Structure 1
């Protein structure tokens, strides 16, 4: 558990911001040469950094986003949602090459497939100022791809006295990188899902995978969706079951889980309570389309 003073209790969340086009009400995924019609669609601000930040802000945590955003019409629409979220945007850089960044999500039951376009580099010109933010106590890195582009990010955060969490996030070009764990040195809290943990460790057994990852990180949380979640620290493993809730869209559920767990962890809660908080946030997120769509009972 970590405790922090009231003067340094804010979170800095870094990563790419996307315009998510989320198609729901599908019985199956599209196939080549055929048109498929969805009964529902949502256009939402996305990206793990923003989704996690929005849920933390909703829980009452002061949180700022460090990111780049484009100047095109889609980016402008996304920015309107960013402003409504309660997230501090002082470290958001506007740049022509930063957009549009788009993710198309096709949701089938409790699973989904993504098609994404990235734009420009991940490094915001505001990073130095963000790391100097006197209210921040913690840095959340929403995807390993961001750390891959900014390899000294963890060490720079540590020099400023920040604790660091990292969600590796699925990226087929990076998740199998044998140097991934070494590149993540210094991360305090590692937050993969089952598929990512298997790619990194080679084990599909969650208990084996989390034990392997615990050799590299002080605190590991493994997100299993309908299987619940595991946490391991100092050789002690805990599991908490998932909640049974109606599922509309699982996009961003893992990032919402991250927000709940990190918020409770920074409050000094027990690991069991942190797990429960993460599962509660994730469960609420899947009940609405769009990862940052918030329900008033998230606290």
Structure 2
């Protein structure tokens, strides 16, 4: 007889969809690079990156099954990520490996409380494995890690909903897409919308957070506004809730928003009330900033 408890848990598996990057994370800098001058960092981490992987890794760290749906290059840099990906515990069965998918890089320059990124996308972001993943046993939720992926896959939200999955979206900053006038129409059907303050301001075309939340709650059932060290605000059509973040030693904020997403999604799928989900999200984000690299903090916790 099958283990009923395990089968029940398996039905709550999360598919994390998005590009996977090789992150070069430079820390211990006294400033930002200037043209014509050389700047030296105290340390560098070379780790798998991208919102889809980081969220998946943190979901696994929280005890939830998570599957990465992505494309990965066959070049040396992409191949160098394979060990770390395997060690994360994330299900890698729906990765499409293709020559045109790499090298795909992000250089993260970390400053106190913030960071700057320089990235290169490679190939397209439409995994050949996606439709099979949506129909895979146990899949309950689809997390789309960036709006750019949704643009490359028009109809993906409706397809996921037709398969009975709930859907979350982190818009992720993209200078060419963040001001897209069709953003809200293109994201119709998303259940959880997870922007940070800067993204929300650009999408809503206002710096007034309350006005932005009013706009978003007319389109999304649940909106969670990430505010970094100031915590986060949750909004629905009938509710507003804000929680502060704990004071922690910040090493690198790269991927903190993706870890936050994992904490919220995990609580939401587990049936926690919205306050509990928001608290879990803030705790996950606060954990992430205590190590360099979006998923590296998980190893720190395991070691302790």
> Normalized against structure 2, the TM-score is what?
0.95
In structure 2, what is the equivalent of residue 285 of structure 1? 288
1:243 aligned residue: 246
SS in 1 for 2:80: helix
Aligned to 1:259: 262
CA contact (8 A) 2:102 2:123 kept: yes
Matched residue, 2:301: 296
How many angstroms does 1:206 deviate by?
Answer: 2.2
- Size of the aligned set, in residue pairs, is 295
> How big is the shift at 1:5?
5.0
Matched, 1:62 2:93: no
1:124-203 equivalent positions in 2, closer than 5 A: 124-203=127-206
Alpha-carbon offset, residue 169 of structure 1: 0.2
| Mapped partners of 2:64, 2:188: distance in 1 | 26
Distance in structure 2 (CA, Å) of the matches to 1:242 and 1:27: 25
Give yes or no for the alignment of 1:268 onto 2:282: no
1:122 equivalent in alignment to 2:138: no
Separation (CA, whole Å) in 1 of partners of 2:168 and 2:220: 10
For residues 192-231 of structure 1, the aligned pairs below 5 Å read 192-231=195-234
Q: Distance in 1 between matches of 2:124 and 2:101?
A: 7
- Cα drift, residue 235 of structure 1: 2.0
**C-alpha distance in 1 between matches for 2:235 and 2:87:** 36
Where structure 2 has 5 or more consecutive residues not aligned to the other structure, the ranges are 1-6
**What is the aligned partner in structure 1 of residue 3 from structure 2?**
none
Cα distance in 1 between the residues matched to 2:77 and 2:240: 43
- Structure 1 unpaired stretches of 5+: none
Q: What root-mean-square deviation, in Å, do the aligned CA atoms of Structure 1 and Structure 2 show?
A: 1.3
1: CA distance, partners of 2:110 / 2:164: 40
